[in-house]
Amino acid sequence: MNKRKVRQVVLPLITAIIWGSSFVTQSIGTNYLGCFSFNALRSVPAALSLLLLLCIMQRVRPRGKYSAEEKRALLRGGLVCGVLLTLGVNLQQFGMNSTSAGKAGFITALYIVLVPVFSIALGKRAGKRTWLCVAIALAGLYFLCFDGGSAVSLNGGDFSVFLCAFAFAAQILAVDHYVQKVDGIALSCAQFIVTAVLFGGGRVISGEQTTLEAIRGCLPYLLYMGVISSGVGYTLQILAQKDGDPAVVSLLLSLESFFAVVSGALFLHERMSLREYFGCALMLAAVILSQLPEKKSKAVESGEKA
């Protein structure tokens, strides 16, 4: 296997493990800090690590100064992506207060199915398989979150994480739009600066109390979320997508939800019922199916052969 194929497989797999295990650190972090405080403090090392990476890349591979248009695009992109990321992360963190890391990982993974659905609003056509994936994912969500009793109700934490999947889907589409105009790492750095400011403001407005002792106790988890999950994870994703097949990379990244369940079981001793595991299996099937490459139409194939 050549280096390109190794990078296409190994890097996104490592990223999926990092992102999946981050649900555990988020869950533990709720025991120390409130949602706004935790997310504000995790955004700072994320922005700093990406800023350091930008400086290193500038030394290794220098580039000219940003033009006025690129600066405006970076500012707009940072604000739009940062606001959407803030919304998604905050909903997810609130949900982690009353749901398990494994369930949160699988429900969050719905964004992979939602992205092509949202793309319809941008003028892109959704095929039959997209709607099939949505139907399978919703069925999985039902088995994962509803107990099957006569009274159908969604746990508050599950619903909060469910809403975060919509925010993440919108954020991914926004990143896809702005990354065509500016450097991807610079855009990510800008969005984390925005999240730090917004979460900090939310902490002040809500009157959330934070002690130095709580920050010290939560520091390892804040650094993991900021440096490893955000800085390292995002960089590995970029390197994997640089030369790799997008379908293969996305498929491997979708294993994030699987590693969330494994991490929750290993580190938090979480267990789910057979009904919930069946729901997880359905959602994972929908995620994987949504990432498989579409078969080319016969007309296209015949044109290529000609």
Which pLDDT tens digit goes with each residue over 43-94?
999 999 999 988 988 888 887 788 889 899 999 999 999 999 999 999 998 9
40-44, 160-164, 175-179, 223-227: which has the minimum mean pLDDT?
175-179
Do 70 and 167 contact (CB within 8 A), yes or no?
Answer: no
pLDDT over 60 at 303, yes or no: no
DSSP state of 109: T
pLDDT reported for residue 149: 55
Q: How confident is the model at residue 305 (pLDDT cuts 50, 70, 90)?
A: very low
pLDDT reported for residue 76: 95
Q: Residues 200-209: what's their mean pLDDT?
A: 92
The whole-model pTM stands at 0.82
As a dihedral over the C-alpha atoms of residue 142, residue 116, residue 87, residue 234, rounded to 10 degrees, the angle is 110
Q: How confident is the model at residue 306 (pLDDT cuts 50, 70, 90)?
A: very low
Residue spans of alpha helices (H) in 98-155 = 101-108, 110-118, 128-145
Residue 178 exposure: Cα atoms within 13 Å on the Cβ side: 28
11-20, 115-124, 179-188: which has the minimum mean pLDDT?
115-124
Q: Residues 187-197: what's their mean pLDDT?
A: 93
pLDDT reported for residue 51: 92
pLDDT, tens digit, for every residue of 106-130?
888 888 788 878 877 777 776 788 7
pLDDT over 50 at 151, yes or no: no
284: left (phi over 0), alpha (psi -120 to 50) or beta: alpha
pLDDT reported for residue 114: 85
Q: Residues 193-204: what's their mean pLDDT?
A: 94
pLDDT reported for residue 192: 92
For the chain, the helix, strand and coil percentages under 3-state DSSP, each to the nearest 5: 80, 0, 20
Q: How confident is the model at residue 296 (pLDDT cuts 50, 70, 90)?
A: low
pLDDT, tens digit, for every residue of 234-290?
778 777 766 666 656 776 777 888 888 889 989 988 888 888 889 888 988 887 887
Q: Percent of the chain having pLDDT more than 70?
A: 87
pLDDT reported for residue 300: 40
Q: Residues 216-233: what's their mean pLDDT?
A: 92
Which single residue is written with the structure tokens 């369930």? 103
Average pLDDT, the chain: 83
Higher pLDDT, 146 or 175: 175
Mark 34-47 as b/e (b = at least 16 C-beta within 10 Å): bbbbbbbbbbbbbb
